[in-house]
Structure 1
Amino acid sequence: MMKSPTTSPSVTMMIFFSDVTYKVVMKGMTTSEEKDILKGITGCVSPGEVLALMGPSGSGKTSLLNLLGGRITHHPTVGGSITYNDQPYSKFLKSRIGFVTQDDVLFPHLTVKETLTYAARLRLPNTLTQEQKEQRALDVIYELGLERCQDTMIGGSFVRGVSGGERKRVCIGNEIIINPSLLLLDEPTSGLDSTTALRIVQMLQHIAEAGKTVVTTIHQPSSRLFHKFDKLILLGKGSLIYFGKASEAMSYFQYIGCSPLITMNPAEFLLDLANGNINDVSVPSELEDKVQMGNLSEAETRNGKPSPALVQEYLVEAYETRVAETEKKKLLVPIPLDEELKSKVLCSKRQWGASWCEQFSILFLRGFKERRHDYFSWLRITQVLSTAVILGLLWWQSDAKNPKGMQDQAGLLFFIAVFWGFFPVFTAIFTFPQERAMLNKERATDMYRLSAYFVARTTSDLPLDLILPVLFLLVVYFMAGLRLSAGPFLLSILTVFLCIVAAQGLGLAIGATLMDLKRATTLASVTVMTFMLAGGFFVKRVPIFISWIRYISFNYHTYKLLLKVQYDEEVTPMINGIRIDSGSTEVVALIAMVFGYRLLAYLSLRWMNVS
């Protein structure tokens, strides 16, 4: 494995955690109760070591990892202490901590090289040039053995891309690109075959050897994987069953009377114990005596053997009475730390890897590259062009010189206003709910400002949004025989574009506020239907107590503008019941919707981030 010249972190980090507790409030229909997730976990990990957090599902592994990574802070139900080089957690440590989540949160249409290059440009210090950041991304690609697939798309559910092991290495590369002092990983081997999983763990060893502190959760590793770990924490229902060297775990459990009766993978044996399962495991003499003497209730025995709950209770008690005090005393012994290390942790300042404008330009380009594939899919192009051809055939060379022809054309213009109001709303609804995991992940590491992301995300679609409407109008406009001159044609395009941007704003606001696709789709359906009905075509005389709806309907304002563009020179000031005026009111209303809806969406995202 190649070594990057900047692999070694600038600050080594020692983590101590003592009597860590964590509870969550379980809310029922009428009452709420607290559930213990972690019950007094104590341990430590030093630079150059790989600490594995093991335990069955629901034992608290991920919760402990989140606490160590500062993902759960200032929570009223968190107790105990966690220190980094003898200092408590602060937000300034974000730039020194890498966190690899269990789910591979990546953009499917970006290549491996693009993914890591964008991460380098956003996360590396702004003291480095763009060329140095891009070189760092290449170094990480070679360090992780990704050079063969660097120009391959990541892929996803409907996009063919790299393999599962390569995806996981890209996720790790996203974090080690900043040379973190502490690297945390949640289930990095889940879903991988044993050979690929071994390569991942060997890679973690190399990362630790470079001076980093590595902590990883792992569910059921093979025996080869298990022996790669330096330290082990074994959890059972939130309680600590073992903390110490991984190589000494089997000896400890044999010492307390639990040893496998058949040849077993050490990890499988330990997980059986953490679950309270003692099949093919010798029963400790203390428990065996209790069973034989009949001192246990029916709930504490099962088929003549101690119940899983009793076994877990015994293991927790055995650790607390025989090992815990000794380990805690070791942690209390002060380990000499360079005062410079402490000051670096204390005096670190929050620094962005790029200025606001640079963040915007990087995120704009990344968003444009990612979404151009969706925008120019054959399905979308076929949908738009086929609709345009059908409209052109139905309104073929319509004549606006007589009232009936003018009324027919008004129907076409209203449909255009509805189609380009409906279509963008339901496309934009998916924007933030689909990217929520990515946004949470990147914002948790201070990758960029929320405002830079929001502006880039909502503007990177605009160049793409203009192409399909132009193709649509090129077909409809000339087939339907609308005003054949450059001015009205260009104004029609601008009107439709303004409608699209306003409708997108509504979709963004609904999606960002609810963050639930089912509820957002339901609300959008009702809203768009109401706007369409109040758009001025179906109902001419709306009751005064509900007439205000048409003034907040982008369909209504778009329809009036399209009528204005087509019939500006007509003698009659009324067309199909709609009064034709200067159009300035409609333009101002649509522009207000463009910015107003987006402001609501931004405030919703800000509230979500704060909460």
Structure 2
Amino acid sequence: MPITTNVEKGTPSAMSAPSATSTTPSLNSPNATVIGDNSVPFIPATLTVTNLQYEITVKEQLKDGEKKSLFKKVPNVQRALLSNIGAKATPGRVLAIMGPSGSGKTTILDLLADRQARNIGKIQGDILLNDVPIKEYGSIRKRLVGYVTQEDDFIEILTVMETLTFAAKMRLPRSMSNKDKIARVHAVMQELNLTHIKDTKVGGTVVRGISGGEKRRVTIGIELLSSPSVLLLDEPTSGLSSTDALNVANTIKELARKGRTVILTVHQPRSDIYELFDDLLLLSQGKVVYFGKAQSAATYFEGLGHEAPVGWNVADYFLDLITLHQGDSSSTTTNEDFAKKYADYLATNPGAYLTQLTKEHQSTSEKIERDALLNQIKKAYTSEYAATTFTQTMLITQRSLTNLARHPIIFQASFVIHIIFALVIGSLFSGLQDRPEMGATSFNKSIALFFITSFLATMTFSAMPQFIIERSLFLRERAAGMYRTSSYFMAKTIVETLSYTVLSIIFVVIVYYLIGLHGSLIYYFVSVAVFVNVALSLIAAIGAGAANAEVGTSILSLLNTMAMLFSGFIVIRPDIPRGWIWAFWASYYQWAFAGMLDNEFSDGSVKGAATLVYFGMNQVEWLTKWRAVLILVGYYIFFRLMGLMLLLSKRA
């Protein structure tokens, strides 16, 4: 049962969705979420799409028999992904968008949610929310239109309750107390039947957690927290078992019954799921071939001479029929232009479903009431983001630290591996004798310092896959309007810097005493910690821009190998050819190695002086160990800023 709302005392409201019997809640209705002294209500909304067209710029396709030439420039052409789309979604009903792959289903959803990320193209036509252009709602349109993506991206180590609580603190207004936000989380879990698993970890590739259907309901729950008027879902049943898919579909149907406007894309639903749809928009190559009541679609196609065979799933039949006839109409006489036939049907049939819907508008009383509710939302959300930048940073930092502490691989395994390899490297070089052919140089310690830098830089490689995973989550959450890119960047910088600094210090303490180093221990702490964070920042920058973990790891391996080759140890600086000297000065390895050489061998001893001469340190008098650290700090800042710029350029 939903928690009731006491408006006078401002106690928490559990549900902001309207009841099934009323699609227009009043200002004093218990369907509004009370936030302190203000009310952020649910607003029933109609979403109308009129003459929507979307074009992108692509390279012109080669003609049959034409070969691609490196010397011939291929001209750009405009390609229409959507053409003259018209549809209307109303409160209390589920509108399903179906069509073969490439028909434009997800493109429509992206445009409705203002997330056309893959290609920024030219948009024409109107998208109206309650007869008002959706762009006019400004930043609060993300509060009014929720978008449930196909991917379920989560921090797998967090529980369902923790996942939803994080989203609630990010998305609900600042004026709402934490107690009220937690009450809202419990209400959403109850609505989606998630209460019994609230303390179960979400899970993922490493940690076992909840089922696929339950994950999808958690994803829906994150959007429901702010009680959107319109709920968009991209393939909500994709990748689920038949039972989970039906459960999710029933949940979506129930959300619509309570007065929400629900629009979803689906490829080929089973018959019992199709029965849950109220309206259907069928697409073929970006054009409408049918829009109307889902249960009337079979009758419409029968009128065109295409009757579904007895016992067939009509959804399968529609897609087979459309796919069969969506080729090039000039190539065969069997093709039918269903989009043209539907356009003719609209033009000649005044009783068409879309024609009747477009005649319906808000009454004056409904408009006045909904405007009043909208003003309440605007007062509750006074800025683009519900939480302040500081709050966003702290919440992301807290979540990252929790993930770090609980995850069996991210920190715990790294902690053990650093200790093990510190013992291995320390014991290996503790008994290594200087080579006679190296003269008076201290070969054993210099090679030990190089292996320390190489191991520490290479150990950060394991962070790349996690960076890519978290980037996907970041893009989804940022697109939903949860937080700023700068807040995420600051939080991740804090957590990564602190965690890898701790690992570096532990590593240094072990190898320092086992090898018998004599330089300043404090300097080793500082230089190694800075160097490791430079390597990690490089990974963060690559991870922000790489297409996937495989590409990122390949780029990182190349850059790390180059930095290692020109570190000044494998080939000492005096022996590096002039044409490659730039790579020596660009290598972040060499600054760390040079600083540690100076720290260890500037003791006035014969061996120390000979070692510095061998590596050419006596020829660079301006380079002191602390200046080397400052240069590494510069690399750290540069790579971090590069990562920030790449994150800012990414679109969900």
TM-score (norm 2): 0.81
2:638 pairs with 1:596:
yes
Does 2:391 align with 1:358?
yes
In 1: Cα distance, 2:495 partner to 2:395 partner:
11
Q: CA deviation at 1:127?
A: 1.0
- 431, 437, 445: which one pairs with 2:480? 445
C-alpha displacement at 1:215, in angstroms? 0.8
Identify if the C-alpha distance between structure 1 residues 326 and 418 changes in structure 2 by more than 3 Å, giving closer, same or farther: closer
Contact 1:22 1:37 in 2 (8 A): yes
Aligned counterpart, 1:291: none
Report the equivalent of 2:65.
none
User: What pairs up with 1:472-483 in 2 under 5 angstroms?
Assistant: 472-483=507-518
* Offset of residue 166 of structure 1: 0.6
> Cα deviations across residues 128-182 of structure 1 (Å, max 9, x unaligned)?
1223222322222222111222222222234322111111111111111111111
Which of 10, 19, 25 is 2:57 aligned to?
25
Alignment equivalent of 1:510, drawn from 511, 535, 542? 542
Of 516-525 and 223-232, more deviation after overlay is shown by 516-525
Q: 1:122: how far off?
A: 0.8
Q: Give, in angstroms, the shift of residue 331 of structure 1.
A: 0.6
Q: Retained in 2: the 8 A contact 1:85–1:342?
A: no
CA contact (8 A) 1:104 1:168 kept: yes
Shift of 1:591: 1.4
Of 320-329 and 111-120, the range deviating more from structure 2: 320-329
Residues 227-238 of structure 1: pairs in structure 2 closer than 5 A: 227-238=275-286
Q: CA deviation at 1:464?
A: 2.2
Q: Percent identity?
A: 30
CA contact (8 A) 1:18 1:82 kept: yes
Write the distance in 2 (CA, Å) between the matches of 1:325 and 1:147: 44
Name 1:391's counterpart in structure 2. Answer: 425
Residue by residue over 1:3-46, the C-alpha shift from the partner in whole angstroms, topping out at 9 and shown as x without a partner, is: 77233243221111112122333325623433332221212122
Change (3 A) 1:53 1:435: same
Is residue 500 of structure 2 the alignment partner of residue 465 of structure 1?
yes
Distance in 2, matches of 1:391 and 1:101, equals 47
Measured after TM superposition, the shift of residue 342 of structure 1 is 4.5
Pick closer, same or farther for the CA change 1:254–1:451 going to 2, 3 Å.
same
For 2:277 and 2:260, how far apart are their aligned partners in 1? 14
Judging changes above 3 Å, is the alpha-carbon distance between structure 1 residues 246 and 120 closer, same or farther for their aligned structure 2 residues?
Answer: same
Contact 1:399 1:481 in 2 (8 A): no
1:391-442 CA-to-partner distances (Å, cap 9, x unmatched) read: 2232125689x97572211111122122223333x34554654333222211
Moved more, 500-509 or 319-328: 319-328
**Shift, 1:315, TM fit:** 5.5
| Aligned with 1:419 (options 455, 466, 482) | 455
- Check the 8 A contact 1:22/1:79 in 2, yes or no: yes
SS at 1:25's partner residue?
strand
Mapping for residues 125-524 of structure 1, pairs under 5 Å: 125-276=173-324, 299-301=331-333, 307-309=334-336, 314=341, 317-318=344-345, 321-322=348-349, 327-328=354-355, 330-336=357-363, 337-342=366-371, 348=378, 350-372=383-405, 373=407, 374-378=409-413, 380-381=414-415, 383-397=417-431, 406-424=442-460, 426-427=461-462, 429-430=464-465, 432-483=467-518, 488-524=520-556
Partner of 1:67: 111
The question of 1:48 aligning with 2:92 is answered: yes
Out of 405-414 and 547-556, give the one that drifted further. Answer: 547-556
Contact 1:398 1:482 (C-alpha < 8 Å) held by counterparts: no
Change (3 A) 1:224 1:512: closer
Residue 479 (structure 1) shift: 2.3
Q: Is the 8 A contact 2:298 2:308 kept in 1?
A: no
Q: Name the CA distance, whole Å, in 2 between partners of 1:133 and 1:47.
A: 26
SS of residue matched to 1:555: helix
Residue in 2 that maps onto 1:82: 127
Give the C-alpha shift of residue 344 in structure 1. 6.1
For the structure 1 residues 465 and 240, does the alpha-carbon distance in structure 2 shift closer, same or farther, using more than 3 Å as the test?
same
| Cα shift at 1:101 | 0.8
Q: Which residue of 2 aligns with 1:584?
A: 626
Please state whether the residue corresponding to 2:430 is helix, strand or coil. coil
Q: Deviations over 1:447-472 (max 9, x none)?
A: 10110101111221223213433343
SS of 2:82's partner is strand
Residues of 2 paired with 1:223 and 1:375: CA distance? 44
- The 1:52–1:565 alpha-carbon spacing in structure 2 relative to 1, beyond 3 Å, is same
Structure 1 residues 228 and 517 mapped into 2: Cα distance closer, same or farther (>3 Å)? Answer: closer
Output the CA distance in 2 between the equivalents of 1:529 and 1:326: 64
User: CA RMSD, aligned part only?
Assistant: 3.2
Residue 286 (structure 1) aligns with: none
**Cα shift readout 1:370-404 (whole Å, capped 9, x = no counterpart):** 344233354x456434433332232125689x975
Which residue identity does 1:408 align to in structure 2? N
Distance 1:265 1:589 in 2: 67
CA distance in 2, matches of 1:326, 1:109: 48
State the SS of the aligned residue for 1:461.
helix
- Output the amino acid matched with 2:449: L
Q: In the alignment, what sits opposite 1:7? A: 16
Deviation at 1:214, TM superposition (A): 0.9
1:70 maps to amino acid = D
TM-score normalised by structure 1 residue count: 0.86
Residues 363 and 453 in structure 1, CA contact (< 8 A), matched pair in contact too: yes
* Runs of 4+ more than 6 Å apart: 323-326
Tell me, what secondary structure is at the counterpart of 2:573? coil
Residue 545 to residue 156, structure 1, CA distance change in 2 (3 Å): same
Distance in 2 between residues matched to 1:322 and 1:256, nearest whole Å: 14
Task: Please give the residue correspondences for 1:82-121 in structure 2 after superposition, counting only pairs within 5 Å.
Answer: 82-90=127-135, 91-92=138-139, 93-121=141-169
Q: Which residue type is aligned with residue 553 of structure 1?
A: S
- CA deviations 1:181-208 (Å, max 9, x no partner) are 1110011112223332222122122222
**What amino acid maps onto 2:368 in structure 1?**
E
